[in-house]
Amino acid sequence: MRRVPAIVLLALPTLFLASCSQESTSEAPVDAEVTETTQDRNLKILYWQAPSKLNPYQSSGTKDIEASSIVVEPLAHYDVDANMVPILAAEIPTSENGGVAEDHRSITWKLKKDVLWSDSTPLTAADVVFTWEYCTAEGGGCAALNAFEYVEQVVALDDHTVRVEFIKPTPFPYGPFVGSASPIIQREQFKDCLGMRANQCVEENSFPVGTGPYMVDEFRAQDTAQFRANPLYREQGKPYFQTVLLKGGGDAAAAARTVLQTGEFDYAWNLQVEPEILENMRNAGKGEILTGFGSQVERIMVNQTNPDPKLDAEQRSINIDGTNPHPILSDIRVRRALTLAIDREILVEVGYGITGQPTCNVIPLPEKYVSSNNDECLTQNLEEANRLLDEAGWVLGSDDVRVKDGIRLSLLYQTSTNPVRQGAQSLIKGWWKEIGVETELKNIDGSVFFGTDAASPFTLYKFYSDVQMYTNSFEGNDPSNYVEAWKCDKAPGPHNAWLGTNISRGCSEELDALLDTLSETFDADERVEIIKQINDTVVQNVYEIPLIHRARVSARANDLKGVVMNGWDSELWSIADWYRE
């Protein structure tokens, strides 16, 4: 008898846990339909960054926008070649078909007739108008606000026609409602979620009613989303899967493994992994790596202002009045030497493989915008780089670092923490060393570097270093807004709470003049020419050093067909056409 207590002691924690687990199972939702589906009618997608909500207007990252695109749809998507394809719109409005007004101040969209929301109510122009109201409501923190920046109002002309009016002539009127970041949401569902209430609408943000091929069944923030086929989807016989499971968690390499090696998932997103690791996994033969080239260019920003830590907050990395230029990098010969010393082929080989291509342009695609005037940078030229530095008066010192007027040619080079970027940093440091440039490397966690906290000294906007590297791109297929970023007066500083977009702070009259001409030009061909010239000016002035044209990279299982990888829109844009062989 006296032995009992010891046994009880051993059993105690077991009992305790057993009771906990029992409680927890009773809480798990029971959904017979989902578990009974056969394996091949269920599509399994892995987004290692799991969506936190399914409303792209409240998005906290690309993951949310992509996951929502299964459910809610825009008027038009961009296809693989960056052309617009109508989705909820009957056709793409152009000047030819009268959809775009002659004064470029409005665009009229015609909706497809007979499109139903998944709750069987019809999609009308009122939903489109409401979507604009929703995103522009005060205090809503809408992530697609820039798409509506110049929109004066959106009016419904009839049930299936809607006109977007702009406050000024807008050469590219396709900003609002095109692409996965600004889809149409249902007025009926979101009408009480305007402004400050937007982020309290938990139910609505997790279970949006949509017009897309699938609808949300179950949503667990940052873990799993379950979708099932929308029986009211407008295309007969689609989608082909009964259910879609979108699972999150882990990291990119592990995500690649689940498709390419273990075959547990059909599709895995965003696999920026060292090329040899990815190649090894692919050799297992279970899946294929997909790449989609868009407008992403990995580049080095060259600071045109003095980031000296000895300067105070009102002066550091600020040169609005022209009295505080960068002591080394304001000389174009030095900047040209830096770009010539880089061997982009090797950067691609080591860090990107099939997911990158060397580039000398800041606008790498669409084809019509691509300039061929800068291709000399594709071949590394150390002699020319050395010659330029000699010419600029930088003399090699005894420690192999160049010196001029007592200043050492020494640069601080920062980027975000990421193994591929750190690899590129050390390669570039090596090449710069060969031309007598000393480089100090620094990396900052992405959640800090890409932030906008004006109090933080580590953001890319503050640019408290000599050069910094990251990937920039533009939304949609038109770089008009993107090139605007290079205006002199858009340099970040205390006057605009460090919210400027001209990160390198490069400023030239030539560039400003080109940008002014662009804003007054409406002829499509002329605009292309001007944008090409802007690209050339930025690159030839070496305000930015383009390195690699980057692709999005994902993987699919061999038996998953119909996937069309897209670098311009959500990767899941064509999910209605996906099927298993």
- Please name the residues in contact with 36: beta carbons below 8 A apart, sequence gap of 6 or more: none
Judge whether 147 and 36 are in contact, CB under 8 Å: no
- Please name the residues in contact with 401: beta carbons below 8 A apart, sequence gap of 6 or more: 408, 409, 410, 436, 437, 438
Ranges within 208-227 binding other proteins (CB under 8 A): 218, 220-224, 226
Total residue count of the chain as it appears in this document: 581
Q: Is the dihedral of CA 526, 532, 533, 534 positive or negative?
A: positive
Q: Smallest gap, in angstroms, from Cβ of residue 124 to other proteins?
A: 27
**Unique residue bearing structure tokens 């305007």:** 194
262 contributes a contact to other proteins by CB under 8 A:
yes
Across-strand partners of 224? 220, 247
Ranges within 18-57 binding other proteins (CB under 8 A): 20-21, 24-25, 27-32, 34-35, 46, 49-50, 52-53
DSSP secondary structure letters along 397-433? -TTS-EEETTEE-EEEEEEES-HHHHHHHHHHHHHHH
Q: CB-wise, 65 or 409, nearer to other proteins?
A: 65
Ranges within 127-166 binding other proteins (CB under 8 A): 139-143, 145-146
Q: CB-wise, 78 or 394, nearer to other proteins?
A: 78
Q: Smallest gap, in angstroms, from Cβ of residue 272 to other proteins?
A: 14
Choosing from 207, 214, 240, 470, the residue that interacts with other proteins (CB under 8 A) is 470
Crossing angle, helix 332-340 and helix 382-391, to 10 degrees? 160
Q: Smallest gap, in angstroms, from Cβ of residue 138 to other proteins?
A: 10
Write each residue from 279 to 308 as x if it is in contact with other proteins (CB under 8 A), else as -, in one continuous string.
-----x------------------------
- The H or E element spanning position 527 is helix 524-540
Choosing from 1, 6, 168, 237, the residue that interacts with other proteins (CB under 8 A) is 6
Q: Which stretch binds other proteins (CB under 8 A): 98-106, 126-134, 391-399, 458-466?
A: 458-466
Across-strand partners of 151? 166
Q: How far apart are CA 317 and CA 311, in angstroms?
A: 9
Ranges within 520-579 binding other proteins (CB under 8 A): none
Q: Smallest gap, in angstroms, from Cβ of residue 24 to other proteins?
A: 3
CA atoms within 13 A on the CB side of 187: 13
Q: Smallest gap, in angstroms, from Cβ of residue 324 to other proteins?
A: 22
User: How do strand 410-416 and strand 438-444 relate by DSSP bridges?
Assistant: parallel
Choosing from 43, 65, 300, 545, the residue that interacts with other proteins (CB under 8 A) is 65
Reduce the DSSP state of residue 335 to 3 states and report it: helix
Ranges within 226-245 binding other proteins (CB under 8 A): 226, 245
Q: Which stretch binds other proteins (CB under 8 A): 107-115, 427-435, 446-454, 512-520?
A: 446-454
449 contributes a contact to other proteins by CB under 8 A:
yes
Q: Smallest gap, in angstroms, from Cβ of residue 80 to other proteins?
A: 18
Q: How far apart are CA 248 and CA 575, in angstroms?
A: 18
Judge whether 224 and 48 are in contact, CB under 8 Å: no
Q: Smallest gap, in angstroms, from Cβ of residue 168 to other proteins?
A: 18
Choosing from 200, 283, 373, 379, the residue that interacts with other proteins (CB under 8 A) is 200
By C-alpha distance, which of 261, 252, 265, 264 is closest to 280? 261
Q: Smallest gap, in angstroms, from Cβ of residue 409 to other proteins?
A: 30
Q: Smallest gap, in angstroms, from Cβ of residue 103 to other proteins?
A: 26
Question: CA of 141: how far to CAs of 79, 186, 236, in Å?
Answer: 28, 18, 37
Q: How far apart are CA 257 and CA 264, in angstroms?
A: 9
Write each residue from 487 to 526 as x if it is in contact with other proteins (CB under 8 A), else as -, in one continuous string.
-----x----xxxxx-------------------------
Q: Which stretch binds other proteins (CB under 8 A): 161-169, 250-258, 310-318, 534-542?
A: 250-258
